[in-house]
Amino acid sequence: MSIGGYAHDASGDVVPRSKARPSVVHTDATAAVAADAEIAQMSEADLLAGIDRLRTERDAVILAHNYQIPAVQDLADFVGDSLQLSQQAAATDKSVIVFCGVHFMAETAAILSPDKTVLIPDAEAGCSLAASVTADEVIAWRDEHPGGVVVSYVNTNADVKAVSDYCCTSANAIDVVRSVPEGRDILFLPDMFLGLWAERESGRKLHLWLGECHVHAGFRPEHVLEALDAHPGSDLLLHPECGCVSQCMYHVAEGDIPADRTHVLSTGGMVRYAQTTEVPVAIVGTETGMLHRMRAENQRTDFLPLSESAVCEYMKTITVPKVYRSLRDMVDVVTVPADVADKARLAIDRMVATVPA
Ligand code: 13P
Ligand code: SF4
């Protein structure tokens, strides 16, 4: 396995390249909502009624990711994982898509539906993982592996997708990797933990970019063992971006963590799990927004967070007043330059067409 995304210091040691993580401390959308005379007078009920009226007037569909705050999930027409939201964006017959998620997701919708208007309620809702790789870095990495196939996680900016051969989400990463013709080098980016998982499950050797999501990288195997000790007999659900997945699989092989009660799942997979499980307790290792959806699906099971502090501030910057403003003022429109979109679409189409096995 070779690695990308790291540099060498003066002594030749491998060191991480520092990436500027997007900030959502003061966004333009937050300031605009705070200064908005109409919104200041509106109750939550007024805002929801206004969103309903505008949704019809604008011929809009509201899509929300599973990590959105509960109030935004509850007002959305469809709540899902990255793959499902891309499929919805590609299939909708509405004129306007309001994307309650992070920026790369709205960009993907704009690429898949170039004739629609795609709005994001806060254009600064970024992603630390998408920020961990640039298109120039992918080109340089690809040049080190002539003939290599670039598989990019959907958590990347559009220009990175444009220099990729395939995109995938956590729901279909293993299937996408398996679909690459045998004998080709595969360069998987940017999430190293998802890459390690896909390598293990697909049996294909991958070159990995050493990027990570700051929310999921923090999960440690000790947290898992402590949670399982505190809740004997519970199921364990882990998102494949979690920093502990590989070590947990080692513990599963050693018999310290029960194999039949451990599930590595995309956020959509976690919803499907919630719909059918009968276990009394499930420990959920991902962003805490997931719990609202799972609890809504199933009141029999106690869904507990592996970590209360696993909160994605980018997802949480989308609020009900921002959704109202977005529909009222038709802001912020997400566009992708046509040349970038045309190149990225092939890789994204392969992702949307790959149904998880
Ligand atoms: P899913 O594709 O599983 O919804 O995950 C998206 C994401 O951003 C995870 O951090
Ligand atoms: Fe990006 Fe991590 Fe937030 Fe997902 S949880 S959107 S990978 S920063």
Domain boundaries, the chain: 28-125+314-340, 129-214+343-353, 221-305
Q: Give the 3-state DSSP-derived string for the chain, with helices as H, strands as E and coil as C.
A: CCEECEEECCCCCEEECCCCCCCCCCCHHHHHHHCCHHHHCCCHHHHHHHHHHHHHHCCEEEEEECCCCHHHHHHCCEEECHHHHHHHHHHCCCCEEEEECCHHHHHHHHHHCCCCEEECCCCCCCCCCHHHCCHHHHHHHHHCCCCCEEEEECCCCHHHHHCCCEEECCCCHHHHHHHCCCCCCEEEECEHHHHHHHHHHHCCCCEEECECCCCCCCCCHHHHHHHHHHCCCCEEEECCCCCCHHHHHHHHHHCCCCHHHEEECCHHHHHHHHHHCCCCEEEEECCCCHHHHHHHHCCCCEEEECCCCCCCCCHHHCCHHHHHHHHHHCCCECCCCHHHHHHHHHHHHHHHHCCCC
CB-ligand 1 contact for 169 (6 Å cutoff): yes
Closest ligand to residue 190's CA: 2
Q: Residue 302: what pLDDT?
A: 98
Protein fold of 129-214+343-353: Rossmann fold (3.40.50)
CB-ligand 2 contact for 129 (6 Å cutoff): yes
Q: Residue 356: what pLDDT?
A: 78
Q: Residue 48: what pLDDT?
A: 98
Top mutation candidate among 19, 100, 287 for ligand 2, by most atoms within 8 Å of CB = 287
Within 8 A by CB and 6+ apart from 122, the residues are 24, 27, 29, 30, 317, 318, 322, 332
The Cα–Cα gap between 313 and 215 comes to 9
Side-chain half-sphere CA neighbours of 155 within 13 A: 31
Second-level CATH architecture of 221-305: 3-Layer(aba) Sandwich (3.40)
Gap from CA of 193 to ligand 1 centroid (Å): 13
Query: For atom 9 of ligand 1, which residue has the closest CA?
Result: 241
Ligand 2 atom closest to residue 213's alpha carbon, by position in its atom list: 2
Q: Residue 13: what pLDDT?
A: 62
Q: Residue 339: what pLDDT?
A: 97
CATH class as words, domain 28-125+314-340: alpha beta
Gap from CA of 129 to ligand 2 centroid (Å): 6
* 317 within 8 A of 124, measured Cβ to Cβ: yes
Query: For atom 1 of ligand 2, which residue has the closest CA?
Result: 127
Burial grade of 346 (CB within 10 A; 0-12, 13-18, 19 or more): middle
Cβ neighbours of 230 (radius 10 Å): 11
Gap from CA of 97 to ligand 1 centroid (Å): 19
The Cα–Cα gap between 19 and 355 comes to 33
Backbone phi and psi for residue 187, each to the nearest 5 degrees, phi listed first:
-105, 110
CB-ligand 2 contact for 286 (6 Å cutoff): no
Gap from CA of 188 to ligand 1 centroid (Å): 16
The Cα–Cα gap between 285 and 305 comes to 6
Gap from CA of 210 to ligand 1 centroid (Å): 18
Q: Bridge partners of 58?
A: none
Gap from CA of 68 to ligand 2 centroid (Å): 11
CB-ligand 1 contact for 267 (6 Å cutoff): yes
Structure tokens at 56: 């019809």
Structure tokens at 97: 């898509």
CB-ligand 2 contact for 215 (6 Å cutoff): yes
Q: Residue 220: what pLDDT?
A: 92
Q: Residue 17: what pLDDT?
A: 53
Ligand 1 atom closest to residue 240's alpha carbon, by position in its atom list: 3
Ligand 2 atom closest to residue 216's alpha carbon, by position in its atom list: 2
Gap from CA of 268 to ligand 1 centroid (Å): 9
The Cα–Cα gap between 246 and 8 comes to 25
Top mutation candidate among 79, 155, 272 for ligand 1, by most atoms within 8 Å of CB = 155
Give me the tens of pLDDT residue by residue for the chain, a chain 357 residues long: 567 766 555 666 665 555 788 899 999 999 999 999 999 999 999 999 999 999 999 999 999 999 999 999 999 999 999 989 999 999 999 999 999 999 999 999 999 999 999 999 999 999 999 999 999 999 999 999 999 999 999 999 999 999 999 999 999 999 999 999 999 999 999 999 999 999 999 999 999 999 999 999 999 999 999 999 999 999 999 999 999 999 999 899 999 899 999 999 999 999 999 999 999 999 999 999 999 999 999 999 999 999 999 999 999 999 999 999 999 999 999 999 999 999 999 999 999 888 777
